[in-house]
Structures are given as structure tokens and as C-alpha cells.
Amino acid sequence: MLEITAVELAGLPGCRLSGRLDGLTVAQAQAGLDDLVAAGRRTIVMDLDPLTYVSSAGLRVFLMTQKLLAKVGGRLIIFRPATAVLQVFQLSGLLKLFDVADTDEELERLCRPEPAAPACRQIQHDGVAFSLIERSAPPAALVSHGSQDKQGRAAYDRQDVVAVPADGITMAAGLGAFGETYDEYKQFFGESLVINGSFFYQPAVPRAGADCILNLDAAATVSYNFLHAFAFRGDYAAVCAFEGHDGPVELERLMAALTKLCPAPALGVVLLAESKGLWGMSLQKAPIIDNQPPDGAEIFSPELFAQWMNFPVEPADFGHIVAGVGLAVAGRAVAPARLRPWLPADADFHLHAAVFDKGPLDKRPERFADELARVVAELEPRKVQHLLGRSRLTGGLAGLVALEV
């Protein structure tokens, strides 16, 4: 039998394990640790004083959680292991992979927080707390590919496709597809984004999952096809970690706060966050002339909307990692004229996001670029969506590119 008790030790969350941790109880222990990780815990204390026995199967629970946390700057701390339990760790050769404390004083020393990065400022805006690193970076250009004018009437044809070489685009969001010939990919045009040169898109066909072309070496041998997209490349003027004061933060509130952190007419935003419930939408059919509604009807009209759009009736994808690319302004009414076509009528931002598997994030702002690269290279994308403002995030990271307009 195994008993798991939630505890707080040295100001950190943890578990107290009592009884036996073996093949019969590992699932129970793993579930308890998974809950702590899903709640955003990065340093977890395991009080093993009441644990009388641990098998190799039990050790694997600790090992797998330690490996997961290590990827995001976290760790497990083993506290007060009984002699018999400590011997199993030693025999396995795994003890060196963990921090071990036998007394309250040792635990306090191990748990003492590291000082914040010297260049990191703590700022609050509208109930969102930021750890901000500012950088000296010149404004970058916002580049438009194609036009949105034909989307509402589903009037795009072959001549409207813009093929952009993979090495010529860094961050982008729009309607895209991948393939060699128009007849091959024309029915797939859907929500898309480019993250560090890698292309993610949602084929606009029933029951499709996200597809992607990883471009980790910035190869120039392929092109990405867009009906329309906005794109930017350049150094980050700022990177930040964020979290809500009193729980999850709505995307609309977050994007408005980000525009206050970096003074610029517009921001290119690269977002990496953990979901607490996403509201997103995507096309169910490609807006090409082959699918055009009769009599010039608009695909966004009330009578056709459900046929054309996947639209949520409730939030989804709790606990999943979200990586997004978007455009944000301090207010749509005062946005430069050339930006307004890219902004929804009722929003001050436009963001496309790839939704990846569940997992923790390293939320240190100085690690933003590395963490973004890890997510893109290692995690499986499930869908790509246009995210709505009521989406909720538990916290995450953002890179901000000042745009010249």
C-alpha cells in the first residue's frame, strides 16, 4: 500500500510518500507527481521519511519526473530518505541525479531561490506580473504576403498563391498549405504559422490534424504557400515571463499588457504558454473558387458560418503547450492604416497558434529562445488555430519584436 499526502516544505510544494512504492503503486505515485507538474510546479520536494520500500519500478517514477523537470529548469529534491530506500538509490547509481537533504536546514539551503537575472525587471500591468528583459534591437519590418480581400467570398485561385522560400521567412501567420503543385494542395489551405522558419498548418479538411515542416537548419530547398500572411523577422526588443496575479490570464488581457511593455506602433509577438482552456477557430474548407458559395454569399455569414468554420462551444486543450505568432497594437482605432486589415474587427491583435502535447515549460525569460526551439523540435503539434481573446493561459513566455510601420 502507498499513501500520498500533499505537503509544503521549505515553502515549496511536494509529496509525502508512506508505505511501499513498487510495481503495484507506481501509477498512483506517477499521477500525484503529474498533478504537481501540471499545476506549474518546477521544484518538487519528495518527503520519503515514511516510505519503507522502493523498487526499481518506483525509482523510474522519480527518474522520469526528474528528466522532465530538468528540461524546464526544475528538479526533484529527495528529503529524509530512510536507510533502506537510500540504499536502493545508491545501488541503482541514480542517487547522483538528485539533490538529497536529510535535515530541515539542508532542505532550506537547497530550496533557497536563485537571484533573478540582473537585467530582469519586475513589472505589473492589469493583473499580469511580468519578468522583463529589455534588449537594444532596431525595429523590424512587417511584410505582407497576398491579400485577405478574397477570403470572405472564397474567391482565391491559382494566381493568388504566394510561394515564400523557407529561408526567407522567420515568423508569420496566415492561411497556408504545403505541397508541390496547386492542384495537389489547393483544398488544404488553412490556419498556418511559421515559427523560427518551421511551418505549421491546419489542413482545411474534416478531421485533419496539424501538419508541419520542420526547418531546423533554415534550408532553402522548399517554399511555403500562402493565400495571405503577415511576417516579420528581427531581434527581440524584449522577452518576458508572465503569469496572472489571481490565476490564469485571458489572452486579450495579456496582449493588451504586452503592448505597454515595449513602446512601438505595433508588436510582433511570439508566444509560448501553458493552456488553461483555449478558444480557437479554424477553417473547415479552403476558401478557393472551387468551393465558392453561390450568389456571392459570404462564408462568415450566419447561414454559412457553421459549414465553413470549426468554432468552439467550450474551451479546450487544458494543460497543453501553445506556441503562437501574432501582431498586436495598443488600440485598433489608432493603429496604422496598413495594419488594420490584419486585425479582426473586434480585436487589437491577431494570433495564430500551434497547440502541442501537454508538458511543462521553462518559464525563465533568459531561456526563451532555447525553450521555443525545444518545443518546436521535440513536441508533436495537434492543431493550429486562430486564437480568440477569451483563451486562458496559466503563464508562459513572450518575445516582442518592435515593428516599423
Q: Concatenate the DSSP letters of all residues of 189-234 into one string.
A: -EEEEEETTEEEE--SSTTPPPEEE--TT--SS-EEEEEEEEEE--
Q: Dump pLDDT digits (tens) for 190-217.
A: 999 999 999 999 999 888 889 999 887 6
Phi and psi angles of residue 258, each rounded to the nearest 5 degrees, phi first: -65, -35
Q: Dump pLDDT digits (tens) for 10-64.
A: 887 788 888 888 888 888 888 888 888 877 778 888 889 899 888 888 888 888 8
Q: Dump pLDDT digits (tens) for 151-191.
A: 999 999 999 999 999 888 999 999 999 998 999 999 999 99
66 or 248: whose pLDDT is higher?
A: 248
3-state class (DSSP) for residue 82: coil
**Beta strand 280-283 with 309-310: parallel, antiparallel or unpaired?**
antiparallel
**pLDDT computed for residue 113 by the predictor:** 65
Do 363 and 235 form a contact (C-beta atoms < 8 A)? Answer: no
Percentage helix, strand, coil for the chain under 3-state DSSP, each rounded to 5: 25, 40, 35
Question: Binning pLDDT at 50, 70 and 90, where does residue 116 land?
Answer: low
What's the rounded Cα separation, in Å, for the pair 261 and 264? 9
Q: Dump pLDDT digits (tens) for 293-342.
A: 998 899 999 999 999 999 888 999 999 999 999 999 988 777 888 888 89
For the record, the C-alpha cell of 250 comes out as 485571458
For residue 118, pLDDT beyond 70 = no
**pLDDT computed for residue 219 by the predictor:** 54
For residue 228, pLDDT beyond 90 = yes
Calculate the average pLDDT of the chain: 89
Question: Binning pLDDT at 50, 70 and 90, where does residue 115 land?
Answer: low
What's the rounded Cα separation, in Å, for the pair 131 and 125? 11
For residue 119, pLDDT beyond 80 = no
**pLDDT computed for residue 117 by the predictor:** 55
Most confident of 25-34, 81-90, 232-241: 232-241
Q: What is the mean pLDDT of residues 281-304?
A: 94
What's the rounded Cα separation, in Å, for the pair 273 and 357? 12
Say what percent of the chain tops pLDDT 90: 54
For residue 385, pLDDT beyond 80 = yes
What's the rounded Cα separation, in Å, for the pair 270 and 354? 12
16 or 391: whose pLDDT is higher?
A: 391
